[in-house]
Chain A
């Protein structure tokens, strides 16, 4: 029992990331009809928002501390971050410590901006071109974005620690009498993902804007005929999808140190998630994201890997292939949507 619950928990953080990226991919595909191969790059850019903010906050000036000397007897140079200089060591230190969660505030406008720029500058010219062209141009963009990041940040992963308060492990099962040790940050990530997903869904459900977008997803032409400026709303939708992917990336840093190719790694799997969930189905994307994350976690147990070596590496692809062949519209896809 403990073991099973633990594997489910272990799948949640990856599942959250899959679900968030797949959600954005589906939003873009459902509203704009575009297959975005650069979506993984947006996830990666989000993670690097956190890296950048952390670096900026840690920028330091040097002072000479007369009270201390190094072993040669020279006065010691001490580096103090500007933030600590401005707000005092207590507040400043806390700000640096909480750099990753703080990045959310910075990342939202940045990612929305990037999303707008991508849609207006590139994607909108590809609405009427074949899917193959969309795949190809966004694939090119993904390469460009990842190389730019590599140029500025290097090829090695960059550690982005969570706040000290959220380090460590919590036993989730203590009040049930079970033993379920779970890293706090992963729990935070899962809850964060739930909040973001809930936010997106209620936005689509309860605002006029969301209603129009949902109508547009169902039937673009009709909504266009009603005289509603669908295109502008779709631009905003692209920004939103970019922000969701970015947020998924921001908070993922403490789980796996960001590197320039993390986007590509997640992209392939997220596509698989979208396909399993059902192209164009938002709940399907979320459900499949968590399901595949958990499935992967089960396939990574020692028992599974000794029985079938490497099963953890291929399980998601196997599931995708089986789903595509037996139920091409995916778990929750609507009949007739991109079934061919």
Chain B
């Protein structure tokens, strides 16, 4: 289907199901139950799942396939957001031109940065992209927000004001980002079924549909000759050169595509909430997308989406857990033990989410370089081996076959 083999089609269908049914799937607990705090089915969070999923898919096209570790990808996200808000200010609140411009501007920006950065590889490439991103951050934060030439509105962040031209704005259109009158922040359906509440948000479904489109494009890219060349770049650039192929345009193209994905994510962020700030470009933000991709599984198709969802979900849940919640959890223990457990867990939750994230990240890089996807595969293999004990594979005589990239 759609030019994919059956395995990839299944993957796409699974992702489509997960994305479209997310409002149900992410709200498994009744609203009044004590477990409701683990629900993730509200619009704001679901939008972030989809948007950062897009961001990570794009980052993975560069890092997962070519092995070039960019530490400055947040710059493209930020540029996309600024471009989108400028469209809101100048044209109208319609999200289509905003998203298109975000992708184009981020693409142009990545041509520039990619052309320069890709003249080096390895750590130099990482440091160059890092330097560019920090420079963009400084530019956005202070340089480009002077009174004479205010492009970014500095610390306050770029937003839409009443006296902006908005030349295409008409009476009757909502005064918030919308898709031909369909306001992003509105819900088109709110279901209440016996204690459960499900919210269907316009903005989320726009993000989800776009996620599916770009996920499909990523599958095609992974299976294409172009994708193969990118993996060859990672594997052995010398051989690629002596095989008559020029690695430069391949890596640059991957860089630009991945920059455009980031710009799209940035544009969507602005479409959900029409505000763009420089902190989106900081290198910690670039680090976050690296985390998502590695945690999910770099070089795999589904990994980055899983990683993005995982990080955004636990960021949200962990920051909500405070000492009261912890005391509830450990209430079954004797008093002394209860306090002790709360004391132990406390640093890792609430504001301590980043600590947990850092530890998790170190563990994954050290023990599970293939991320969650590899973890899943290992568990699956374990079960399979239990299932048929007679068939003990002999690694000496049956060299393992390459795991397919989609797995």
Partners in one complex: yes
> For the complex, is A95 an interface residue (Cβ under 8 Å from B)?
no
Known: A147-B352, A310-B138. A139 touches B287 (CB 8 A): yes
Interface secondary structure of B, over-half rule:
helix
Q: Which 10 A-B pairs have the closest CB atoms?
A: A310-B143, A143-B358, A313-B138, A147-B355, A140-B361, A144-B358, A140-B362, A317-B135, A317-B131, A137-B365
List of A residues within 8 angstroms of B67 by Cβ:
130, 132
> For the complex, is B375 an interface residue (Cβ under 8 Å from A)?
no
Q: Distance in Å from the Cβ of B364 to the closest Cβ of chain A?
A: 8
Q: Distance in Å from the Cβ of A329 to the closest Cβ of chain B?
A: 10
Q: How far is the CA of A318 from the CA of B290 in the complex (A)?
A: 24
Q: How far is the CA of A137 from the CA of B128 in the complex (A)?
A: 19
Known: A147-B355, A325-B116. A268 touches B138 (CB 8 A): no
Which has the most chain B C-beta neighbours within 10 Å: A122, A125, A279, A310? A310
Q: How far is the CA of A222 from the CA of B350 in the complex (A)?
A: 51
> For the complex, is B122 an interface residue (Cβ under 8 Å from A)?
yes
Encode contact with A along B90-132: 1 for CB under 8 Å, 0 otherwise. Answer: 0000000000000000000000000010011111101110111
List of A residues within 8 angstroms of B290 by Cβ:
136, 139
Q: How far is the CA of A102 from the CA of B81 in the complex (A)?
A: 49
Interface residues of A in 221-279 (CB under 8 A from B): 264, 268, 271-272, 275, 279
- Contact between chains at A271 and B127 (CB < 8 Å): yes
Known: A132-B69, A151-B352, A324-B120. A141 touches B126 (CB 8 A): no
Q: Distance in Å from the Cβ of A64 to the closest Cβ of chain B?
A: 34
Q: How far is the CA of A217 from the CA of B124 in the complex (A)?
A: 19
- Contact between chains at B120 and A340 (CB < 8 Å): yes
Of the A-B pairs whose beta carbons lie under 8 Å apart in the complex, a sample of 15, sorted by A's number, is A125-B366, A132-B67, A136-B365, A139-B290, A140-B358, A140-B359, A142-B358, A143-B355, A144-B358, A275-B124, A310-B144, A318-B135, A320-B127, A321-B131, A324-B128
> For the complex, is A62 an interface residue (Cβ under 8 Å from B)?
no
- Chain A residue with minimal CB distance to B126? A135
> For the complex, is A314 an interface residue (Cβ under 8 Å from B)?
yes
Q: How many residues of chain B get a CB closer than 8 Å to chain A's CBs?
A: 42
> For the complex, is A55 an interface residue (Cβ under 8 Å from B)?
no
- Contact between chains at A338 and B369 (CB < 8 Å): no
- Contact between chains at B123 and A141 (CB < 8 Å): no
> For the complex, is A133 an interface residue (Cβ under 8 Å from B)?
yes
Known: A264-B284, A272-B127. A314 touches B135 (CB 8 A): yes
Interface residues of B in 130-183 (CB under 8 A from A): 130-132, 134-135, 138-139, 141-144, 146
- Contact between chains at B143 and A314 (CB < 8 Å): yes
Which single member of B130, B144, B365, B369 contacts A271 (CB below 8 Å)? B130
Known: A314-B143, A328-B124. A140 touches B131 (CB 8 A): no
> For the complex, is A148 an interface residue (Cβ under 8 Å from B)?
yes
Encode contact with B along A279-316: 1 for CB under 8 Å, 0 otherwise. Answer: 10000000000000000000000000000011101100
Which single member of B123, B146, B366 contacts A131 (CB below 8 Å)? B123
Q: Distance in Å from the Cβ of A123 to the closest Cβ of chain B?
A: 11
- Contact between chains at A314 and B138 (CB < 8 Å): yes
- Contact between chains at B127 and A275 (CB < 8 Å): yes
- Contact between chains at A340 and B142 (CB < 8 Å): no
> For the complex, is A35 an interface residue (Cβ under 8 Å from B)?
yes
Q: How far is the CA of A275 from the CA of B128 in the complex (A)?
A: 9
Q: Distance in Å from the Cβ of A54 to the closest Cβ of chain B?
A: 23
Which single member of B128, B138, B143, B362 contacts A141 (CB below 8 Å)? B362
Q: How far is the CA of A18 from the CA of B103 in the complex (A)?
A: 37
> For the complex, is B283 an interface residue (Cβ under 8 Å from A)?
yes
- Contact between chains at A140 and B365 (CB < 8 Å): yes
Q: How far is the CA of A330 from the CA of B127 in the complex (A)?
A: 13
- Contact between chains at A151 and B347 (CB < 8 Å): yes
- Contact between chains at A137 and B366 (CB < 8 Å): yes
Q: How far is the CA of A297 from the CA of B116 in the complex (A)?
A: 27
> For the complex, is B294 an interface residue (Cβ under 8 Å from A)?
yes
> For the complex, is B26 an interface residue (Cβ under 8 Å from A)?
no
Q: Distance in Å from the Cβ of B305 to the closest Cβ of chain A?
A: 20
